Chain A
Amino acid sequence: MKKWYCMILAVVFALVLLAPAAQAEVDFSGEQINWIIPFRVGGGSDVWSRLYAPFFQKYLPGNPIVAVKNMPGGGSITGGNHFEQRVRGDDGLTVFGSSGSTSFPYLLGNSKVRYDFAKYHIVFASPTGGVAYINPELGVKSAADLKGFTKEMNYASQGATSLDIVPLLGFDLLGLNVKAVFGYKGRGAGRVAFEQGEVSIDYQTTTAYIKNVRPLVEQGLAVPLMTWGVLDDDGNIVRDPIEPDLPCFPEVYEMVHGKKPSGQAWNAWKAFMIAGFGVQKAMWLPEQTKPEVVEAYRAAAKKVIADPEFQVVVEKSLGGYQQMAGENARKAFDQVLSVPKEDKAWVVKWIKDEYDIEVK
Chain B
Amino acid sequence: MEAFFQALTVLLTPSHLVYLVGGVTLGLCVGILPGLGGIVGMTILLPVIYGMDIHNAFALLIGMVAVIPTSDTFPSVMMGIPGSSASQATIMDGYPLAKKGEAARALGAAFTASLIGGLFGAFVLSLIIPIARPLVLAFGSPELFMLAVLGMSMVGVLSGNQPIKGIIGAGIGLMLGAMGDAPAIAEYRYTFGFDYLMDGISLVIVGLGLFAFPEIIDLLIKGRPIAEKAELGRGWFDGLKDTLRHKWIVLRCATIGVIIGFIPGLGGSVVDWIAYGHIIQTSKDRERFGKGDIRGVIAPESANNAKEGGGLIPTFLFGIPGSGSMAVFLGGLLILGIQPGPSMLTENVDLIYTAIWSLALANIFGAGLALMLAKPITKLTIVPFRYLAPFMILIITFAAYQASYSWGDLIALLLVGILGWLMKQFGWPRPAALIGFVLAGNLEQYLFISVQRYGFDWLTRPGVIIMTVIIAASLGASIVYQNKLKAAGRTAAKK
**Which A positions have Cβ atoms within 8 angstroms of B?**
40-44, 46-47, 50-51, 54, 68, 71-75, 78, 112, 154, 159-161, 181-186, 188-189, 191-193, 195-196, 198-199, 207-208, 210-212, 215, 313, 316-317, 357, 359
**Which B positions have Cβ atoms within 8 angstroms of A?**
39, 42-43, 46-47, 50-51, 136-137, 140-141, 181, 183-186, 195, 198-199, 264-265, 318-320, 327-332, 334-335, 337, 339-343, 404-405, 445-446, 448-449, 452-453
Q: Are B140 and A211 in contact (CB under 8 A)?
A: no
Q: Are A182 and B140 in contact (CB under 8 A)?
A: no
Known: A160-B186, A211-B339, A313-B337. A183 touches B448 (CB 8 A): yes
Q: Are B328 and A181 in contact (CB under 8 A)?
A: no
Q: Are B318 and A198 in contact (CB under 8 A)?
A: no
Partner of A198, one of B140, B198, B329, B340: B140
Please name 23 pairs of A and B residues whose Cβ atoms are closer than 8 Å in the assembled complex, sorted by A: A41-B43, A42-B327, A42-B328, A42-B330, A42-B332, A43-B327, A51-B335, A72-B199, A73-B199, A159-B185, A182-B449, A183-B448, A183-B452, A185-B265, A186-B320, A188-B318, A191-B320, A192-B264, A192-B318, A207-B339, A212-B341, A316-B337, A317-B337
Q: Are A54 and B452 in contact (CB under 8 A)?
A: no
Known: A183-B183, A192-B320. A42 touches B195 (CB 8 A): no
Known: A198-B140, A316-B337. A181 touches B186 (CB 8 A): no
Residues of A with C-beta under 8 A to B199 = 72-74
Q: Measured between alpha carbons, how far is A184 from B46 in the docked complex, in Å?
A: 26
Known: A50-B46, A74-B199. A181 touches B453 (CB 8 A): yes
- Min CB gap B447→A, angstroms: 9
- Min CB gap B186→A, angstroms: 5
- A42, A195, A211 interface centre (most CB from chain B within 10 Å): A42
Q: Are A159 and B186 in contact (CB under 8 A)?
A: yes
Closest to A313 in B: B337
Q: Measured between alpha carbons, how far is A44 from B339 in the docked complex, in Å?
A: 12
| Chain B interface, DSSP helix/strand/loop, else mixed | helix
Q: Are A182 and B452 in contact (CB under 8 A)?
A: yes
Known: A183-B452, A189-B320, A198-B141. A43 touches B341 (CB 8 A): no
5 more CB-based (< 8 A) A-B contacts, given A50-B335, A73-B198, A198-B140:
A42-B43, A42-B331, A47-B334, A74-B195, A208-B319
- Min CB gap B177→A, angstroms: 15
Residues of A with C-beta under 8 A to B39 = 41
Residues of A with C-beta under 8 A to B43 = 41-42
Residues of B with C-beta under 8 A to A211 = 319, 339-343
Q: Are A71 and B341 in contact (CB under 8 A)?
A: no
Q: Measured between alpha carbons, how far is A68 from B331 in the docked complex, in Å?
A: 14
Partner of B136, one of A43, A75, A185, A192: A192
Which 5 A-B pairs have CB atoms at the shortest separation, nearest pair first? A42-B331, A183-B184, A211-B341, A42-B328, A188-B320
Residues of B with C-beta under 8 A to A198 = 140-141, 449, 453
Q: Measured between alpha carbons, how far is A57 from B388 in the docked complex, in Å?
A: 43
Partner of B318, one of A54, A210, A212: A212
Partner of A41, one of B50, B51, B318, B328: B328
- Min CB gap A79→B, angstroms: 11
Q: Are A54 and B331 in contact (CB under 8 A)?
A: no
Q: Are B449 and A181 in contact (CB under 8 A)?
A: yes
Partner of B449, one of A42, A184, A208, A210: A184
Closest to B142 in A: A198
- Min CB gap A151→B, angstroms: 16
- B51, B137, B320, B329 interface centre (most CB from chain A within 10 Å): B320
Q: Are A193 and B341 in contact (CB under 8 A)?
A: no
- Min CB gap B304→A, angstroms: 21
Q: Are B449 and A46 in contact (CB under 8 A)?
A: no
- Min CB gap B240→A, angstroms: 36
Q: Are B445 and A317 in contact (CB under 8 A)?
A: no
Q: Measured between alpha carbons, how far is A161 from B140 in the docked complex, in Å?
A: 25
Residues of A with C-beta under 8 A to B339 = 207-208, 210-211
Partner of B331, one of A46, A75, A78, A154: A46
Q: Are A193 and B328 in contact (CB under 8 A)?
A: no
Q: Are B47 and A189 in contact (CB under 8 A)?
A: no
Residues of A with C-beta under 8 A to B51 = 54
Residues of A with C-beta under 8 A to B137 = 192, 195-196
Closest to A213 in B: B341
Residues of B with C-beta under 8 A to A316 = 337
Q: Are A317 and B452 in contact (CB under 8 A)?
A: no
